[in-house]
Amino acid sequence: MILSFCSCILFSFVSACLGAASVRHTEQYLQYEQRAGSTMTVALKKRFTMEMDSIGVQSGKTRIKHKMAYYGTIQVGTPPQKFSVVYDTGSGNLIIPGSDCGDAACLNHDRFDGARSSTVQPLECDGSPVRGGRSTDKLTITFGTGHITGKCLQDNICIGNLCAAGSFISSTAESAHPFQAFAFDGVLGLALDKMAHGIDFSIMSRMTRNKLLAEPLFSVFLSDSDHEASEITFGEIRHDHMASELFWVPVTRSSGYWEVQIEDITLDNKPQQICQECHVAVDTGTSQLGGPSEIITELGDKLDVKSDCSNFHKLPKLGFLIGSHVLNLSPRDYVDKVGNSCHVSLMKLDVPPPKGPLFIFGIPFLQKFFSVYDHANSRVGFAIAKHGGHEEVLVTLEKHVQKSRFQDQPSPLAIASPRRLRKQNGTSVK
């Protein structure tokens, strides 16, 4: 569900540095292989909706926007209370409705009841000790179209049988829009640690510290077909979901997002020189693709999608050049087509510096590409997702290899409406 993002631009290293990095990464994985870690796969349900979206007050016209969300289950407390949550790589905290929230948005969902848990502990949201056994501290998280206010608690949090004590936000107030209409109860943030409100709020950090995982990573496979199961797997790379080799890209900035560098945008594998050294956040909680207004406008002009769909079958592949690889989307991935009505489904999103300008790879991208999130080494892996046994070739632009700012890192092992996060008075705000 995002918007926030990460900065340590990876410049070319001498071969000795690359060798040292490779050895260090291998040693880290060997350490995990010696631990009694586990893997866990969570099946994800999908919710598909259509909304009317105004495209101009003066024109009085509207168009239909498609939105999709994927969510699974977790358990909190002792005995465990079950909740459905979006597994969200674009945020850092677990947020679920609390029993003391009387808003319609909360009453419409399962709520966490601390009185029913023998292991719950109150917390001050700034991490300081609670005095008198009860905290009155609260924080407010503002989204693009709503807000949540909540208190901070600690309790046992389980993904399947992977359990560890951790901190989370139990909401005491939620705006009706958009939360009342959500099919899921809350959000489980899976961004890097910096995005979390504190280190104990980061579920990947907790599972890594407690040696729960066979490998300190998770992988995401999303499908828009009812005949395939979408899932997120912790502690393992599911190679059976890959229709191409996996390649790794380093996280490029330090905001906490799974953010990588795009070297350009391509049409039918031809670089357009309209987005050189752009950055993109990979976000499982966002239903669309998005980017800076200026670039999206220029890209829309180049694509020239006819509103009556008359040129739909002649549209080019829209690709993103990452390193030497082109990650291509077909017209069905980037055009919203309803009957004989077509429009480019790329939202304009202007994130100010230093976090912007920024692209968002949301669900349409993640349905096309299998993705892996390496928490220990701050990098993202991509492969073409295998759907229904159909395989494609991962495009590589050989002549671009020498110009690339970074090369693929060697692998020791052979991802609702737009809403964005920023730091405001020390609080993560969406």
333 assigned to active site: no
Positive/negative CA dihedral, 352, 358, 364, 369: negative
Q: How many helices (H) and strands (E) does the chain have?
A: 7, 28
Q: In sequence order, what DSSP letters do the residues of 272-310 get, joined into one string?
A: -SSSTTEEEEE-TT-SSEEE-HHHHHHHHHHH---TT-T
Look-up of token digits 């899976």? 190
Residue 3 neighbours by CB under 8 Å, 6+ apart: 90, 257, 281, 283, 349, 351, 355, 358, 360, 418, 419, 420, 421, 422, 430
Among 103, 155, 200, 283, which one carries the catalytic annotation? 283
Cα distance between residue 162 and residue 169, in whole Å: 20
Nearest to 258 by CA among 290, 229, 282: 282
Residue 154 neighbours by CB under 8 Å, 6+ apart: 120, 121, 122, 123, 165, 166, 167, 168, 200
Q: Which residues pair with 325 in a beta bridge?
A: 322, 396
Look-up of token digits 């996060």? 421
Cα distance between residue 191 and residue 430, in whole Å: 13
Cα distance between residue 319 and residue 352, in whole Å: 24
Nearest to 306 by CA among 268, 346, 342: 342
240 assigned to active site: no
DSSP tag of 390: B
Among 88, 200, 374, 408, which one carries the catalytic annotation? 88
DSSP tag of 421: -
Instruction: Give the CA radius of gyration of the chain.
Output: 21
Q: What angle do CA 368, 374, 375 make, to 5 degrees?
A: 130
Cα distance between residue 129 and residue 355, in whole Å: 33
Residues serving a catalytic function are: 88, 283
